[in-house]
Amino acid sequence: MPPILEAAARPTLLLVGHGMVGQRFLEALVERGVADSHQVVVLCEEPRAAYDRVHLTSYFEGTSADELSLTPADFMERHGIELHLGEPGQSIDRAAKTVTTPAGRTFAYDILVLATGSYPFVPPVPGKDAEGCFVYRTIEDLEAIETYAKDAARGAVVGGGLLGLEAAGALKGLGLSTQIVEFAPRLMPAQVDEGGGAALLRTIERMGLDVRTGAGTQEIVTDEAGRVTGMLLTDGTQLPTDLVVFSAGVRPRDQLARECGLEVGERGGIKVGEECRTSDDAVYAIGECAQTVDGKVYGLVAPGYAMAEAAADAIAGFPGSFTGADMSTKLKLLGVDVASFGDAHGATEGCLDVVYADSRSGTYKKLVVDPDGKLLGGVLVGDADAYGMLRPLTGSVPPVSPEQLVLPAGAGGPVKLGPDALPDEAIICSCHNVTKGQICACGTLPEVKQCTKAGTGCGSCVKTILQLLPQSGDKGLCGCFGHTRAELYEIVRVKRITSYARLLDEHGRDEARGSEGCEICKPTVGSIIASLAPAIGADGYVLAGEQAALQDTNDHFLANMQRNGSYSIVPRIPGGEITPEKLIVIGEVARDYGLYTKITGGQRIDLFGARVDQLPGIWARLVDAGFESGHAYGKALRTVKSCVGQTWCRYGVQDSVRMAIDLELRYRGLRAPHKLKSAVSGCARECAEAQSKDFGVIATASGWNLYVGGNGGMTPRHADLLAQDLSDTELIRLIDRFLMFYIRTADRLERTASWLERLEGGLEHLREVIVEDSLGLCDELESLMAAHVAGYSDEWAETLQDPERLARFVSFVNAPGTPDPTVQFVAERDQMKPDLQVLIPEGALTAR
């Protein structure tokens, strides 16, 4: 028997730095088989493995550190990768091919890859190290800011770029009055032009943030204890503040390379070639620490990913290079869409601009084109929906004129370009350089993400990817669920699932399980659980436990937010019938709280202008007077309008007021895919306009006619006659069935009009199902409605009885008794209206 030979030791690949780019590099090594042929060792400075720094601000919105993680739990073990957390590289000995850590440990390497990223630039001003000064880079930074903000009222951010606006949004979300100081003459100077910066500035100031452009920081002012009390600007202005966040850009972390003699750029960054190899053939540098062959240091994740793949190719012996990157980006900053692509600043000689600006809405669109019509780049602020199509068209002549791509409807645009307008070689996902052709070769969004990684970076391309996959048959609600809303309804009903987390874990797409979900499916599932609550044993209160995190903005405070940050109160007035005593209560509440009062077309009284902290006091008085929530804030039944009917009108043939009240009290609080409106007319003269409602009732001499699927608004539709001459009992039974069948089968945010037009077989099929019971569902539909009626309770009455629930109704989480000074009003026609020109005074708090 021949002797057993020891296997040759595998060469060691040492990665220093484990951020987003470092993790992508490891994945690229695995994909190319390098992790099998090499011993891979990783030194990570932070106490946790790579996480999503692009969405770091979501940490303040409840996203946990684990949810931000980019490293699957078993990734390192599964691929034999040795990870050392909290142990950065401190020095490199290139001759010995070793890296030493601060703990004194030495790691040998055959191949060294530096992915040390960047560090926040802090201007060298007096006081920069004072207590209350922070940077905005890591989860630990955010935890420190969150802790310090609990005892602060005012915050300032130095820097008005991408990270600066992210930081400002975070401070505002923590309840601090927020100021932004930007040295450049406009916000986001690297991404947007002067017009885009002006539009962004107006929008952000309307949100209540104080912005100073064209001003630098001269000194951080402190008290005797060394705590921040203010900032002195270069223009002489003094800003009072309790907390300062420096977000004035980043610098490449190239100190390790400098100290060991690797070549670095004059302005920083480890010089690398096309393979991302440094001046030492055994050492590579990728990401923000590297200066590439085009002389740039890239601060976006997409170029970092491209460098990671180029280095992995070189190590694996595959062809690949990095010579430059697309700097296009699309972000939502402080709720504002901002995008730039291509030659956004019009640096190309002889180029022309096509600009549309609407300062009232905060919309700004600019396309840069060649005289021959070729699209060179653009800037989009306020409305960036076209980004997904425009960016891939950069460098080509669009199939329509540039004007048609930026003008609004009614002014020659907008023209919506479909996926067919894009060539197969168009880059759809710039984070991973994935083309339209590669995406179209896949069948579903999960396949696209798995096979190409498109959609797994910044996420701005997902909408375009979905448009490119009509052939996939994937009709899933969103990227989290492969099921339609109707299918999810059935799953929740049959399995009696009472939590979003369980539904996502058991029925979500594989790549979405364990995530926090998205803004599409969370409110949708919340609505499904609420509509089925009594039947499945769930808590019907929409803000109970996990349900609170699923709700849309208005549902969070059981009120509609208005444009100046105040809220409206809409008590239910069934059938429009109200006693003088109740009218007096409404009048007294409006007077005492200074609310704007309006009688609506739906026979309700709306009260506008309440601060969030005033809502419980207002509703306490209304509930004591016998009023309930009118659910104007929810996707639920709004009103059942009525005429006075035969009781007063000489033409009336039935008691329409009584029927309207019966229906409104029966269906109040019923959560649905969209809002529901109804009306009851006492005769064929149709004074209540029943035929423009989701379900409308018109009296006849023999009973009631039931109409369904109507709607007003931008696309009005007359309702269809479903059944005639119904008795009271028959009418209510059919409406029960109609509503529950709609809730069961409609898509997210689909009104009954659209649903009925989409329903296969249309009105006839609906009649077969809910009148003739062709599917045998009617008993079940009636049972579900009976459970809703029996389980109904008023949301505001419940809220007022629970101190924990009332605790959410404050303007500022760190100053519960402080009113929001940014909610201001001016007088008009003996009432008040929002003062939309108000700017935050220095030192004021901003609304939560």
Same-domain pairing of 114 and 147: no
Distance from C-alpha of 131 to C-alpha of 128, rounded to nearest angstrom: 9
- Does 687 carry a binding-site annotation? yes
| Position with higher pLDDT, 330 vs 149 | 149
Q: Which residue, of 756, 782, 808, is where some domain finishes? A: 782
Residue 299 maps to a domain: yes
User: Looking at residue 19, what is its pLDDT?
Assistant: 93
User: Looking at residue 302, what is its pLDDT?
Assistant: 82
Same-domain pairing of 257 and 113: yes
Same-domain pairing of 769 and 673: yes
Residue 337 maps to a domain: yes
Same-domain pairing of 339 and 438: no
- Does 683 carry a binding-site annotation? yes
Residue 340 maps to a domain: yes
Phi/psi zone of residue 440: left (φ > 0), alpha (ψ -120 to 50 degrees), beta? alpha
Pairing of strands 91-93, 82-85: unpaired
User: Looking at residue 695, what is its pLDDT?
Assistant: 97
Q: What is the mean pLDDT of residues 219-234?
A: 93
Same-domain pairing of 261 and 244: no
pLDDT at 207 over 90: no
Same-domain pairing of 678 and 533: no
- Does 649 carry a binding-site annotation? yes
pLDDT digits (tens, 9 = 90+) for 739-765: 999 999 998 888 999 899 888 888 999
| Position with higher pLDDT, 21 vs 761 | 21
Q: Considering the chain, what percentage of its residues have pLDDT values greater than 90?
A: 42
User: Looking at residue 663, what is its pLDDT?
Assistant: 96
Distance from C-alpha of 345 to C-alpha of 464, rounded to nearest angstrom: 25
pLDDT at 169 over 80: yes
Same-domain pairing of 727 and 778: yes
The mean pLDDT of the chain is 85
User: Looking at residue 450, what is its pLDDT?
Assistant: 72
User: Looking at residue 643, what is its pLDDT?
Assistant: 92
| Position with higher pLDDT, 598 vs 666 | 666
User: Looking at residue 259, what is its pLDDT?
Assistant: 95
Same-domain pairing of 142 and 241: yes
pLDDT at 658 over 50: yes
DSSP 798: H
Quickly state the pLDDT bin for 164 (edges 50, 70, 90): confident
User: Looking at residue 269, what is its pLDDT?
Assistant: 94
pLDDT at 782 over 90: yes
Q: What is the mean pLDDT of residues 146-154?
A: 91
Residue 845 maps to a domain: no
As for how many domains the chain has, the answer is: 6
- Does 442 carry a binding-site annotation? no
pLDDT at 578 over 70: yes
Q: Residue 133 is part of which domain span?
A: 122-248
Same-domain pairing of 383 and 490: no
Indicate which CATH number applies to the domain containing 186: 3.50.50.60
Indicate which CATH number applies to the domain containing 678: 3.30.413.10
Q: Which amino acid is at 51?
A: Y
Same-domain pairing of 19 and 92: yes
**Element at 353 (helix H, strand E):** strand 352-358
User: Looking at residue 90, what is its pLDDT?
Assistant: 95
Residue 643 maps to a domain: no
Backbone angles phi, psi at 481, to 5 degrees: -125, 135
Can you read off the two tokens belonging to residue 49? 């493995």
Residue 347 maps to a domain: yes
Same-domain pairing of 384 and 457: no
**DSSP 3-state of 75:** helix
User: Looking at residue 669, what is its pLDDT?
Assistant: 92
Contacts of 240 (CB under 8 A, 6+ apart): 154, 229, 230, 842, 843
Strands (E), 382-514: 427-429, 434-435
Residue 832 maps to a domain: no
User: Looking at residue 841, what is its pLDDT?
Assistant: 36
Contacts of 468 (CB under 8 A, 6+ apart): 419, 428, 436, 439, 440
Residue 842 maps to a domain: no
Whether pTM exceeds 0.75: no
Q: Please name which of 597, 609, 608, 679 lies closest in space to residue 638, comparing C-alpha atoms.
A: 679
Same-domain pairing of 237 and 268: no
Distance from C-alpha of 408 to C-alpha of 355, rounded to nearest angstrom: 12
Burial readout 701-726 (b: 16 or more C-beta within 10 A, e: otherwise): eebbbbbbbbbeeeeebebbebbeeb
pLDDT digits (tens, 9 = 90+) for 378-405: 888 888 777 777 888 888 888 778 777 7
